Amino acid sequence: MSASNGQIEHVSKKQKYAVCIACIGLLQSGSTSNVITQISEAMLSGDHDADAFTLALALPVCLSLRVHRIWTLLKQAYPQIPEKGRTDHIATMKDVWKNLVGPPLGKMVDKTFIQGQYIEFIMNISASYAGDMEDCKIMDQLCESTFALRRKQHKKYAGGVYSKQSVDAAIKRLTDEEFLKVCPNPPCIPTEAITFTGLKWQRDSIYMAGRYNKYSRELPQTPWFVEGERKMGSSVQELLCEILNKSVKAEDYRFSSSGREDVDVRCLGNGRPFVIEFINPCKTRFSRKEITEFQKEVNLSSEMIQLRDLQIVDKKDVKNLKEGEEEKTKAYCALCIARSGYDPSLLNQLSGVKELVIQQKTPVRVLHRRPLLTRPRIIHEMWASSIDNFFFKLHLTTQAGTYIKEFVHGDLGRTTPNVRSILGLDVDIIALDVERVALDWPPKCSE
């Protein structure tokens, strides 16, 4: 076996000991000593900062069948043998294996092995046996109707005709007498032992939250693809996550934010709240000083974004982000143009508007990814200031989820009322900035 990137690959070796017909070598010393070395190498290569770990083991399907065959023969020969332990023999076998492997493994990796309780760091080990499916073919005779049907519906059972669940369930339905009619002899002696074909660590996600400012009008929030072709060179998500993940060393990450701005919209003021879930991380423990250094690294990496209030948060706190996405208010500044010119006094019609309810059909520009609905939205307040006889600035505070561009130009009448209809002018929007996202989360950090 060789370990690489959390995986174990089997390398065939000539068997040096007789293989047990019950555990298929799982509990034999030659097997356990080999796998301890391989798991320790994989754990050390990940450079995990967990103090403790536990083990999870997936076994070949036929192991249940083999042990059950031995039990039925023992009960036939020695009826006085107590039933206790018969129903949970596989769980017991797993526990024995874990207690054989766990303590010496813990010494090799300098971590505490803990069995029987939840631990944030789990090593998942998959064991396989070359004769697994061949052993299971006896189930066709034991439960012909069940497995004949599963074979006919093979497309439905992508995991195989003989799954652990189906074999275990079938065994439970059989009496010992029925079982012995088909299986009067012990299982055959394995030609080779169980091998450990896969190993993968599993750790709880870590969540980092903060606020970002976006200063570029050519930067999408997330990677932008159209018909498989990438648009724009990077994104807010990538500029943040890729730098942070160099330290976290996670398998993957998920980026979420309180709303989103268009690629050509800047996000100013105190920034937009976001959270990143780092999935299956190697590192989860960081000091306040280290987090501050991560933030500085992001801010020095690009002039297009800036990061503030970066911190680690609990999973339960992430709900604050989603609640704010639809419930909080947003403040904007729009640069607008009246193409035929305008009388600056007309802007007074906008400045007096309070709690204006508008009806917005899904904008034409997002119909390809959002359902066609009419959504009521509230313009809580707005005021306008003249620049010259063609240009003016419009300041708005709105309900989250309001489409500002469409409120300005009307979107072919799909947003009503709109700035164009209120002023009676051919008005369009030139540029838009988010000035404030009124969500007091995550808490402000004192650097």
Which residue, 111, 109, 113, is CA-closest to 45? 109
Q: What are phi and psi of 56, to 5 degrees?
A: -125, 135
Do 121 and 51 form a contact (C-beta atoms < 8 A)? no
In this structure, what token pair is assigned to residue 51? 């103090």
More confident residue, 156 or 266: 266
More confident residue, 13 or 370: 370
Do 46 and 200 form a contact (C-beta atoms < 8 A)? no
What confidence tens digit (pLDDT) does each residue in 194-222 have?
A: 988 888 999 999 999 999 999 999 999 99
Instruction: Tell me how many degrees the CA angle 242-247-253 measures, rounded to the nearest 5.
Output: 45
Q: CA 309 to CA 397: how far, in whole Å?
A: 24
Domains and CATH numbers, the chain: 2-202 (no CATH), 206-326 (3.30.70.2510), 329-437 (3.30.70.3190)
Do 313 and 275 form a contact (C-beta atoms < 8 A)? yes
Of 32-41, 245-254, 374-383, 387-396, the poorest mean pLDDT is in 32-41
Which residue, 410, 376, 382, is CA-closest to 394? 382
Per-residue model confidence (pLDDT) at position 2:
35
User: Does 131 score more than 90 pLDDT?
Assistant: yes
Which residue, 216, 280, 270, is CA-closest to 245? 280
| Band (10; pLDDT cuts 50, 70, 90) | very low
Per-residue model confidence (pLDDT) at position 326:
67
Amino acid residing at 431: A
Which residue, 126, 271, 117, is CA-closest to 201? 126
Q: CA 99 to CA 392: how far, in whole Å?
A: 74
Q: Which long-range contacts (CB under 8 A, 24 or more apart) does 101-108 make?
A: 101/32, 101/35, 101/36, 101/39, 101/55, 102/54, 102/55, 104/36, 105/36, 105/39, 105/40, 105/43, 105/55, 106/53, 108/36, 108/37, 108/40
Do 325 and 400 form a contact (C-beta atoms < 8 A)? yes
Torsion sign, CA atoms 212, 254, 295, 273: positive
Per-residue model confidence (pLDDT) at position 3:
40
User: Does 356 score more than 90 pLDDT?
Assistant: yes
Based on the number of CB atoms within 10 Å of its own CB, is 324 exposed (0-12), middle (13-18) or buried (19 or more)? buried
Alpha helices in 183-270 (DSSP H): 236-248
| Helix/strand/coil for 265 | coil
| Band (159; pLDDT cuts 50, 70, 90) | low
Q: What residues are labeled active site?
A: 262
What confidence tens digit (pLDDT) does each residue in 58-68 have?
A: 999 999 999 99
Based on the number of CB atoms within 10 Å of its own CB, is 192 exposed (0-12), middle (13-18) or buried (19 or more)? middle
Per-residue model confidence (pLDDT) at position 162:
86
Based on the number of CB atoms within 10 Å of its own CB, is 352 exposed (0-12), middle (13-18) or buried (19 or more)? exposed
Average pLDDT over every residue of 81-88: 81
Which residue, 235, 234, 279, 283, is CA-closest to 257? 235
Q: CA 194 to CA 221: how far, in whole Å?
A: 49
What confidence tens digit (pLDDT) does each residue in 263-320 have?
A: 999 999 999 999 999 999 999 999 999 999 999 999 999 999 999 999 999 999 999 8
What confidence tens digit (pLDDT) does each residue in 330-355 have?
A: 999 999 999 999 999 999 999 889 99
Q: CA 291 to CA 55: how far, in whole Å?
A: 31
Of 36-45, 301-310, 406-415, the poorest mean pLDDT is in 36-45
User: Does 149 score more than 90 pLDDT?
Assistant: no
Q: What is the DSSP letter of 14?
A: -
User: Does 360 score more than 70 pLDDT?
Assistant: yes
Based on the number of CB atoms within 10 Å of its own CB, is 215 exposed (0-12), middle (13-18) or buried (19 or more)? middle
Q: What are phi and psi of 370, to 5 degrees?
A: -135, 145
Q: Provide the pairing of β-strand 7-9 with 2-4.
A: antiparallel
